[in-house]
Chain A
């Protein structure tokens, strides 16, 4: 809040633009020609110069796991062996009758922030499903903004009309966020109309007051005995991706991917636990 229209007019005069002389029209015609350069605008607005923080990393540190299935879109696949599953799971914990495990798709997104609204995007989508006696984990990561369309299209291909989504707080967070992204990309939202088991609510019903909170990492440690090593806190995820985007090291982004993979694995185990 420290500029005036007048400063602008001075700058214009300095740049050789015609000074505006009619009082009534001055404010409108004045700003039609804005400062030519960022430095000039910064001076006009008296904004501080912010040094760019990105440290260019060497090529070896920039390697991401997986396959680049479209420009800027990486896919990783992994299989986590597990015990044989029953044909049907008891869905009472989520106030439904039975759940066909073959239809369930666990998913979790990593996003550029928690601010909400149209400015937040997912840069990573992790998903898991039971296939052939194992948990099949697939993760999509974008390394350019333009790759978002391809990521959304790929994720849409993983969903079928019979898919049951499973998530942790996905009804309030991940699904609406993806809906916004599909809308902005002018693509149909593939999650619309799908059944969705959000494990946060049954977990809260069962463990509220029992453990210190009902965050997924608490529940998986207390209930499933999962101990994470070298875990990157979720709040550091946006910075990890931005660092990579600006040409920095992939190290923390790989840790985000590990974190995300563990999330969907834990989701699957938690569902089995709740249904048991």
Chain B
């Protein structure tokens, strides 16, 4: 296949990212669809502010900081003016000093306290280490500690009473600190700063929860007479100020001009070569990513490969280890990094990377956050991460040493990937995605008003953020949770409501993976609830640092998977499908000859089986059945339907109509994700009947197949009321506000989907427009592509 030549054609001596980029561009011009250079940026400096204590200045000088970047000074000035601040600058631009300086100064001068919130425990530990290092450098006497689920009981009291800076996470604040606020009285009385880093990660459900946790925090602070200032940090997003203000419910000053220098960066968009022009089939992204990474590592460049799934991380790690780590006596040069590894394992990888002992690291989005892993030269994205912002953030991992670096985005066959690499201007000109939260979503509100009432009683006229909570309080009183007396609502139930509210998901309980090889009983990994059906079915190959284990037994109720070490030459991939049923239509409008709706749907997701895929050849060598409980949720969706009479007029057979709907769904999903900048995981598409009796999926040849409620495949002709429906739905229980805006723009989406399909060069349909179609003998006039256009034309108003 279109293999890259041996890396030995590269100059043997060490080269930099720019040289590798030039080499790739010279050799593979046909695969590179876009190339841009981000020029080196010089530093913009500013002097230390006069209000900064001399001891802090001395401590910074010990650490070779002689002056500040302009954005660090701008943050100090804004904080001094008493404003809430959000700092939006690239990775490794010295963001943490923006909050460290005011926090440390206030702690030294007034014993003021600060609360830091990071989305993960790992980031919290990094931050404490950095604070303590600065404190030691200048003998500042700052007491900082992490406070999370891992903090031993005997240290907790000391931290509550003595900590100047308490570093925690939103979940701990929600479940461990606020419901026990009286123990933290001294801390809250003196709380001057709340620092929230990585606010771009608080989107959707998590962000909506966090906004409510902040409302609760402000309520508690007010009780103790404190009104802390917030200092927020974010990676580049389209609406940092708006997002920060939505989280805080207060005006926020945005600092968006970075004063940090950056080395030049070359970014290449890479489309794997076509191997079958009629089918639109391309070489796999993983083989291309693997080879680019291999070349970079052989050339002495520290390389990071981002993959979109945990399985793919393990597969790519194995490929690179096969080349670089075949001698088990030597320390590993290639490591994998992803969620689900035990914390110690992850810390180990981070340390080894910082120390320069690792040459290649393969990761999921877990490394997208500010985990410190030191300097990198090359970043390869195996697949578009779903947003422009995330792409830039990942590319930002390279080039920390202010020398030229390289970023390569390797497109997969995914239509969104294909759209991006074929429209490079989109990549450079699109504004980064906007973070969106819905803090007043009533389910979330009810959860947090319940928690807030536990923490402090509500009195008549109290507000919760901007919300009048009265109707929620009355409901809770009716349920016997609160007791209304003399204009106050007091908690009287014997329960601890925060424990019943998870900020991150509705799922309960992680699965642990237990290795039983040779009579062992060792926990080797954790898997979150929603991923478990996709990763831990019996027969699955579960990989940890690319060592394969086979799942022997899954204890669903006990949340355990028992595995043994195996030497299989294949990995497994779950086959899952989704069925939707309309519960209620909130709104509808005419869409051409049909209708477009927006409303509430019931979604059932089932893992039906799995495929075994051989390494390197990627051939399918077998499959197996999976018997697991369905995952169900209610969410909101936008959907399109055509009346049966219209269908009968348009199509000679129901199969044609079904193919048309599948193709239309595929294309609508592509344009919708771009329209609302949704991560692929957040917005999903499906085709089925409106009543949930059946769902349809494309089979391996690209033609539609039905699946009935019970799991069998009903005959198309046997269905009494044939109402195929295209759904786009929010992949969050309760919905998170994506589908309503899509419904508002439904005519535009249909038009865009038609333009996408018409503009595609394929014959019968391909991964870039209507989905892959294998049969290359199809008449273009009756292909799924043509049918999809027919469906969309019928739905278009014109």
Give the B-binding residues of A (Cβ under 8 A).
1-10, 21, 23-24, 26-28, 30-32, 34-38, 40-42, 44-45, 47, 50, 52-53, 112-121, 144-146, 179-180, 183-184, 238, 242, 245
> Which residues of chain A come closer than 8 Å to B439, judged between CB atoms?
28
Other A-B pairs beyond A32-B466, A114-B494, A146-B488, 8, CB < 8 Å: A1-B634, A2-B733, A6-B740, A28-B440, A31-B467, A37-B471, A41-B475, A145-B490
A158→B659 CA distance, assembly (Å)? 83
A27-B436, A50-B479, A115-B494 are contacts. A145–B442 as well, Cβ < 8 Å?
no
Q: Which of B633-653 contact A (CB under 8 A)?
A: 633-636
A5-B441, A6-B598, A145-B488 are contacts. A179–B737 as well, Cβ < 8 Å?
no
> Is B179 in contact with A119, judged by CB distance below 8 angstroms?
yes
Q: For the complex formed, measure the closest distance between the CB of B478 and the CB atoms of chain A, giving whole angstroms.
A: 6
> Is B633 in contact with A1, judged by CB distance below 8 angstroms?
yes
Q: Mark B741-754, 1 if CB is under 8 A from A, else 0.
A: 10011000000000
Is B570 an interface residue when CB atoms closer than 8 A count as contact?
A: no
A256→B626 CA distance, assembly (Å)? 54
> Which residues of chain B come closer than 8 Å to A114, judged between CB atoms?
494
Contacts A/B (CB < 8 Å), 26 sampled: A1-B733, A2-B634, A3-B634, A3-B734, A4-B636, A5-B442, A5-B636, A5-B735, A6-B599, A6-B636, A8-B442, A34-B468, A36-B471, A38-B478, A41-B442, A52-B478, A52-B480, A113-B493, A115-B494, A118-B182, A119-B455, A144-B486, A146-B486, A183-B185, A245-B483, A245-B492
Is B347 an interface residue when CB atoms closer than 8 A count as contact?
A: no
> Is A23 in contact with B493, judged by CB distance below 8 angstroms?
no
A146→B441 CA distance, assembly (Å)? 33
> Which residues of chain B come closer than 8 Å to A112, judged between CB atoms?
492-494
Q: Mark B246-280, 1 if CB is under 8 A from A, else 0.
A: 10000000000000000000000000000000000
> Is A45 in contact with B485, judged by CB distance below 8 angstroms?
no
Q: Which of B587-628 contact A (CB under 8 A)?
A: 587, 598-600
> Is A1 in contact with B734, judged by CB distance below 8 angstroms?
yes
A201→B149 CA distance, assembly (Å)? 28
Q: Which of B449-475 contact A (CB under 8 A)?
A: 453-456, 466-468, 471-472, 474-475
> Which residues of chain B come closer than 8 Å to A145, judged between CB atoms?
483, 485-486, 488, 490, 492
> Which residues of chain A come closer than 8 Å to B733, judged between CB atoms?
1-2
A248→B492 CA distance, assembly (Å)? 16
Q: Which of B565-598 contact A (CB under 8 A)?
A: 584, 586-587, 598
Is B496 an interface residue when CB atoms closer than 8 A count as contact?
A: yes
> Which residues of chain A come closer than 8 Å to B183, judged between CB atoms?
180
A74→B418 CA distance, assembly (Å)? 76
Q: Which one, A21, A31, A35, contacts B441 given CB within 8 A?
A: A31
Q: Which one, A38, A121, A180, A238, contacts B475 given CB within 8 A?
A: A38
Is B793 an interface residue when CB atoms closer than 8 A count as contact?
A: no
A163→B730 CA distance, assembly (Å)? 62
> Which residues of chain A come closer than 8 Å to B483, judged between CB atoms?
145, 245
> Which residues of chain B come closer than 8 Å to A42, judged between CB atoms?
475
> Is A38 in contact with B495, judged by CB distance below 8 angstroms?
no
> Is A117 in contact with B454, judged by CB distance below 8 angstroms?
yes
The closest CB in chain B to the CB of A245 belongs to B483
> Which residues of chain B come closer than 8 Å to A10, judged between CB atoms?
586-587
> Which residues of chain A come closer than 8 Å to B493, judged between CB atoms?
112-113, 119
> Which residues of chain B come closer than 8 Å to A115, judged between CB atoms?
494-496
Is B181 an interface residue when CB atoms closer than 8 A count as contact?
A: yes
Q: For the complex formed, measure the closest distance between the CB of A238 and the CB atoms of chain B, giving whole angstroms.
A: 5
The closest CB in chain A to the CB of B735 belongs to A4
Give the A-binding residues of B (Cβ under 8 A).
179-183, 185, 246, 434, 436-443, 445-446, 453-456, 466-468, 471-472, 474-475, 478-480, 483, 485-486, 488, 490-497, 506, 584, 586-587, 598-600, 633-636, 730, 733-735, 737, 739-741, 744-745
> Which residues of chain B come closer than 8 Å to A121, judged between CB atoms?
492
A265→B246 CA distance, assembly (Å)? 57
Q: For the complex formed, measure the closest distance between the CB of A31 and the CB atoms of chain B, giving whole angstroms.
A: 3
Q: For the complex formed, measure the closest distance between the CB of A149 and the CB atoms of chain B, giving whole angstroms.
A: 12
> Is A27 in contact with B438, judged by CB distance below 8 angstroms?
yes
> Which residues of chain B come closer than 8 Å to A180, judged between CB atoms?
182-183
Q: For the complex formed, measure the closest distance between the CB of B648 and the CB atoms of chain A, giving whole angstroms.
A: 32
Which of A6, A24, A52 gathers most chain B CB within 10 Å? A6
> Is A44 in contact with B442, judged by CB distance below 8 angstroms?
yes
> Which residues of chain A come closer than 8 Å to B475, judged between CB atoms?
38, 41-42, 47
> Which residues of chain B come closer than 8 Å to A8, judged between CB atoms?
442
Q: For the complex formed, measure the closest distance between the CB of A27 and the CB atoms of chain B, giving whole angstroms.
A: 4
Q: For the complex formed, measure the closest distance between the CB of A85 and the CB atoms of chain B, giving whole angstroms.
A: 37
Q: Which one, A23, A44, A116, A238, contacts B741 given CB within 8 A?
A: A23
A26-B740, A27-B440 are contacts. A238–B456 as well, Cβ < 8 Å?
no
> Which residues of chain A come closer than 8 Å to B634, judged between CB atoms?
1-4
Q: For the complex formed, measure the closest distance between the CB of A189 and the CB atoms of chain B, giving whole angstroms.
A: 10
A27-B436, A115-B495 are contacts. A38–B740 as well, Cβ < 8 Å?
no
The closest CB in chain B to the CB of A29 belongs to B440
> Which residues of chain A come closer than 8 Å to B600, judged between CB atoms?
3-4, 6-7
Q: For the complex formed, measure the closest distance between the CB of B316 and the CB atoms of chain A, giving whole angstroms.
A: 36
Q: For the complex formed, measure the closest distance between the CB of B371 and the CB atoms of chain A, giving whole angstroms.
A: 31
Q: Which one, A34, A36, A113, contacts B442 given CB within 8 A?
A: A34
A42→B446 CA distance, assembly (Å)? 11
A30-B440, A146-B485 are contacts. A5–B740 as well, Cβ < 8 Å?
yes
Q: For the complex formed, measure the closest distance between the CB of B559 and the CB atoms of chain A, giving whole angstroms.
A: 20
> Which residues of chain A come closer than 8 Å to B495, judged between CB atoms?
113, 115, 119
A26→B490 CA distance, assembly (Å)? 33
A42→B472 CA distance, assembly (Å)? 9
A3-B443, A8-B442 are contacts. A238–B454 as well, Cβ < 8 Å?
no
> Which residues of chain B come closer than 8 Å to A6, judged between CB atoms?
586-587, 598-600, 636, 735, 739-740
A120→B496 CA distance, assembly (Å)? 9
Q: For the complex formed, measure the closest distance between the CB of A5 and the CB atoms of chain B, giving whole angstroms.
A: 5
Q: For the complex formed, measure the closest distance between the CB of B364 and the CB atoms of chain A, giving whole angstroms.
A: 26
Q: For the complex formed, measure the closest distance between the CB of B785 and the CB atoms of chain A, giving whole angstroms.
A: 30
> Is A41 in contact with B456, judged by CB distance below 8 angstroms?
no
Q: Which one, A23, A118, A179, contacts B454 given CB within 8 A?
A: A118
> Is B598 in contact with A45, judged by CB distance below 8 angstroms?
no
Q: For the complex formed, measure the closest distance between the CB of B222 and the CB atoms of chain A, giving whole angstroms.
A: 13
> Is B492 in contact with A184, judged by CB distance below 8 angstroms?
no
> Is B633 in contact with A27, judged by CB distance below 8 angstroms?
no
Q: For the complex formed, measure the closest distance between the CB of B312 and the CB atoms of chain A, giving whole angstroms.
A: 30
A5→B506 CA distance, assembly (Å)? 17
> Is A117 in contact with B179, judged by CB distance below 8 angstroms?
yes
The closest CB in chain A to the CB of B490 belongs to A145
> Which residues of chain A come closer than 8 Å to B486, judged between CB atoms?
144-146
Q: Which one, A41, A53, A113, contacts B480 given CB within 8 A?
A: A53
A30→B488 CA distance, assembly (Å)? 27
A28→B495 CA distance, assembly (Å)? 31
> Which residues of chain B come closer than 8 Å to A144, judged between CB atoms?
485-486
Q: Which 4 pairs from chain A and chain B are nearest by CB?
A: A113-B494, A31-B440, A23-B741, A119-B454
Q: For the complex formed, measure the closest distance between the CB of A245 and the CB atoms of chain B, giving whole angstroms.
A: 7
Which of B486, B492, B586 gathers most chain A CB within 10 Å? B492
A118→B735 CA distance, assembly (Å)? 32
A245→B492 CA distance, assembly (Å)? 10
> Is A4 in contact with B182, judged by CB distance below 8 angstroms?
no
> Is A4 in contact with B587, judged by CB distance below 8 angstroms?
no
Q: For the complex formed, measure the closest distance between the CB of A4 and the CB atoms of chain B, giving whole angstroms.
A: 4
> Is A26 in contact with B468, judged by CB distance below 8 angstroms?
no
A53→B479 CA distance, assembly (Å)? 10
A5→B479 CA distance, assembly (Å)? 23
> Which residues of chain B come closer than 8 Å to A1, judged between CB atoms?
443, 506, 633-634, 733-734
A9-B740, A27-B437, A146-B485 are contacts. A38–B471 as well, Cβ < 8 Å?
yes
Which of B185, B440, B485, B733 gathers most chain A CB within 10 Å? B440
A5→B453 CA distance, assembly (Å)? 23
> Which residues of chain A come closer than 8 Å to B497, judged between CB atoms?
119
The closest CB in chain A to the CB of B743 belongs to A6
A180→B454 CA distance, assembly (Å)? 13
